[in-house]
Amino acid sequence: MVTEEKRQEILEKLKNAVIQYDEDTSKEASKEALEVGLEPNDAIFSGLVSGMEEVGRLFEAQEYFVPELLMCADALYAGLDILKPHVKQLDLGVKGSVVIGTVEGDVHDIGKNIVKMMFDVAGFTVYDLGRDVPLDKFVEEQMKTDSDLVCLSAMMTTTMVGMKKVIEDLKAKNPNVKIMIGGAPVSQDIAEKWGADGYAKDANNALKDAINMISSLKKLKEEAEAKKGS
Amino acid sequence: MSDITPKQRVLRLFAGERTDRPPCFSGMGNVTTEGLKKFGYKFAALHSNAKMMSDAAASTYKLFGFECGVVPFDLCVEAEALGCEINVYAHLEDILYPTIKKKLIHTEDEMDIRIPSDLAVRGRIPLIKETIGLIKADIGNEVAVGTYVLGPFTLAGQIMELNDLLKLSFKKPDKIGKLLDMLAAAIIIVAKEYEKAGADYITVREMGATSDVLSPRVFKNLILPYLKKIFAELKTNTVLHICGKTNDIAVSMVESGARAISVDQKNDVAETRKKIGNDSLLFGNYDPYNVLVSGTPEKVRETIRKCMDDGVSAVWPGCDIWPTVPPENINAMMDEVKKYRR
Ligand code: B12
């Protein structure tokens, strides 16, 4: 059993490695965590992710900008790659998979990539379709992967309307799938009008909402199955 | 009634002379669906046809009195001339802006590119020159004719993965500096061609360097030197446009040597005016979508009045004017500006 002192030392190292976008230290500290027998979940969430939360704050305070964010993410992924194979079951309460992409005609993908990273970190399986994604592709990919959630991003008013079509098609094919939309021109109002299940103004809120949505989805499924069984 | 043409007003403004009121024009795309309707043109068809592009560009002046004619409508011209493939979405009826389909640089090792020696005649550059000539022949006596190029950092984002560009700007600034230097040289070549074609003013759009994405420090250290290089070489009237957050870089924008700077609705223009003084030209800063397209005429008037009260030298949008702008809104804007007296 690892001592509390050692645990704190490693967590601090992981956290700072992410904040200071130091991939090497992140890898080193992750290996050390495994060697001394630190719970991988603990290392991920109290170390790496807690560092990323601080990065989010620095971003909001405009001390960090997008390049810093991307480099911090790289440091986080470097540690995650080492720790993840040793995790038995990520303890999020939910396990979900998500299809994400920027809709056709739109190449703005900085925001989408940040949202994607949050899902990666939280242990979701992410199918990233990239940017300028033909509308049919979202439906196709959701069917193929049977994902719980589809996330659509658009940064322009003209491309945003493409989301409406994707939402209709998805709901027609699979009424159970949850859909979340976002991007600068999108609003809660629009999400409601077009029948999306969620909207978030930034990546942190996106993740929170997604977890809630998927938990409720799982609950519904379980209830339905319980009914069938009885 | 004023006895000068909109063109004279714009040129006097650039020359540093007093004008009766701010001009109402733009250095970025301003084609409208009303204009397209008049000619029966599809947006996707414009980008490769000089006559259609010119008709569409001139229609905003002819229909609404908007005081300029500007081409092109997309951000892919330079990247295409450098060797990227573009997508104009010809198969779609909706208005979608052309995008880069295939980038030039895919990995860090491919960054050592050369400017093609025949850059000036590649891609659509001759087409844009021809179009500038057509617009001038059509409305060039009445309004100023403008065009734009990308800034080096934004152009770099078109020809390579933006994520890589952003990270390398931090990790290997020397390498990015070298690329930006090369791209600045390419931009100078293109802009000089547009000067030859008779553009009255050229806007350099460096939207990728907004403080929404990049820190003011990186802007000053890594990007500003190459913008300076560009503006030092150009003889015509120049404007530097950056959208998004720009309050912390406005002074640097003026230092770039551009004749005027252009900012969008996220900039606090009253504050910027104080910082840069009364002699610098500051264009802006109404929201071309949330006000001009989806606002009411009253909201448009209010916004335009505030821009002028805050101290813009010209009433000018924060980005391309969104094509679906309702006629009553653009009319309200023109009327509000024309009523205004300094
Ligand atoms: C960088 C940029 C570009 C770059 C994009 C590079 C890239 N790979 O992304 C380039 C130069 C290529 C570009 C091109 C164009 N652009 Co541009 N661009 C911007 C700019 C300056 C910043 C966008 C950005 O990345 N912000 C930073 C990120 C972190 O924020 P974010 O994207 O909002 O993301 C957050 C949230 O929205 C949310 N979120 C995002 N997605 C999702 C998804 C889900 C599911 C959820 C829940 C949440 C969520 O979480 C994110 C993180 O917190 C904006 C102006 C601005 N300041 O916003 C204009 C802007 C988006 N562009 C605009 C325009 C008009 C264009 C062009 C059409 C110009 C032209 N004439 O061609 C072209 C379009 C090309 C195309 N067809 O796509 C306009 C759009 C106007 C409108 N309302 O429709 C804007 C708003 C500028 C303006 N002031 O008018 N652009």
In the predicted model, what is the mean pLDDT of residues B102-110?
92
Q: Please, which pLDDT band fits residue A202 given cuts at 50, 70 and 90? A: confident
Say yes or no: CB of residue A65 within 6 Å of ligand 1: no
Least confident segment among A20-34, A47-61, A143-157: A47-61
Across the interface, of A66, A105, A157, the residue whose CB is closest to B89 is A105
pLDDT exceeds 90 at position B255:
yes
**Over the stretch A66-108, which tens digit does the pLDDT of each residue have?**
999 899 989 999 998 899 888 765 555 566 889 999 999 999 9
Is B280 in contact with B312 (CB distance < 8 Å)? no
Q: For the residues of B145-173, what is the DSSP string, one character each?
A: EEEEEE-HHHHHHHHB-HHHHHHHHHH-H
Question: Residue A92: its pLDDT value, please?
Answer: 52
Distance from CA of B16 to the nearest CA of A (A): 36
Question: Residue A185: its pLDDT value, please?
Answer: 87
Question: Residue B1: its pLDDT value, please?
Answer: 47
Q: Cα separation of B187 and B200, whole Å?
A: 17
Q: Report CB contact under 8 Å: A113, B163.
A: yes
Q: Report CB contact under 8 Å: B170, A71.
A: yes
SS3 at position B237: strand
Q: Cα separation of B211 and A134, whole Å?
A: 30
**Over the stretch A46-71, which tens digit does the pLDDT of each residue have?**
899 889 888 888 988 999 999 998 99
Question: What are the residues of chain B with a beta carbon less than 8 Å away from any beta carbon of chain A?
Answer: 87, 89, 92, 94-97, 99-100, 162-163, 166-167, 169-171, 211-215, 218, 289, 293, 322
Number of residues assigned to chain A:
230
* Residue ranges of domains in chain B, CATH in brackets: 6-338 (3.20.20.210)
Question: Residue A120: its pLDDT value, please?
Answer: 81
Residue in this structure with the two tokens 């023109």, named with its chain if needed: B334
Q: Report CB contact under 8 Å: B166, A70.
A: yes
Angle between helices B125-139 and B173-197 (to 10 degrees): 40
Which residue has the least CA distance to atom 48 on ligand 1? A182
Residue whose C-alpha is closest to residue B317's, from B259, B267, B273, B278: B267
Distance from CA of B164 to the nearest CA of A (A): 9
Give A156 Cα–ligand 1 centroid separation in angstroms.
Answer: 7
Q: Which residue has the higher pLDDT, A88 or B312?
A: B312
Q: Report CB contact under 8 Å: A107, B99.
A: yes
Tokens of A78: 């470097």
Say yes or no: CB of residue B74 within 6 Å of ligand 1: yes
Across the interface, of B96, B212, B215, the residue whose CB is closest to A159 is B96
Interface size between A and B, measured as CB pairs under 8 A: 54
Is B94 in contact with A161 (CB distance < 8 Å)? yes
Is A29 in contact with A19 (CB distance < 8 Å)? no
Percent of chain B with pLDDT over 90: 93
* Residue ranges of domains in chain A, CATH in brackets: 4-88 (1.10.1240.10), 97-209 (3.40.50.280)
pLDDT exceeds 80 at position B316:
yes
- Nearest residue of chain A to residue B95 (CA atoms): A158
Question: Residue A94: its pLDDT value, please?
Answer: 60
ipTM: 0.86
The H or E element containing residue A145 is helix A135-145
Say yes or no: CB of residue A180 within 6 Å of ligand 1: yes
Amino acid at A30: S
Percent of chain A with pLDDT over 90: 56
Give A52 Cα–ligand 1 centroid separation in angstroms.
Answer: 23
Question: Residue A88: its pLDDT value, please?
Answer: 67
**Over the stretch B262-290, which tens digit does the pLDDT of each residue have?**
999 999 999 999 999 999 999 999 999 88
Q: Please, which pLDDT band fits residue B43 given cuts at 50, 70 and 90? A: very high
In the predicted model, what is the mean pLDDT of residues B67-94?
93
Strands (E), chain A: 97-102, 125-128, 149-153, 178-182, 198-199
Q: Cα separation of A61 and A162, whole Å?
A: 33
Q: Which residue has the higher pLDDT, A138 or A205?
A: A138
SS3 at position B241: strand
Q: Please, which pLDDT band fits residue A228 given cuts at 50, 70 and 90? A: low
Q: Which long-range contacts (CB under 8 A, 24 or more apart) does A64-68 make?
A: A65/B211, A65/B213, A65/B214, A65/B215, A65/B218, A66/A110, A66/A114, A66/B166, A66/B212, A66/B213, A66/B214, A67/B166, A67/B167, A67/B169, A67/B170, A67/B214, A67/B215, A67/B218, A68/A21, A68/B170, A68/B215
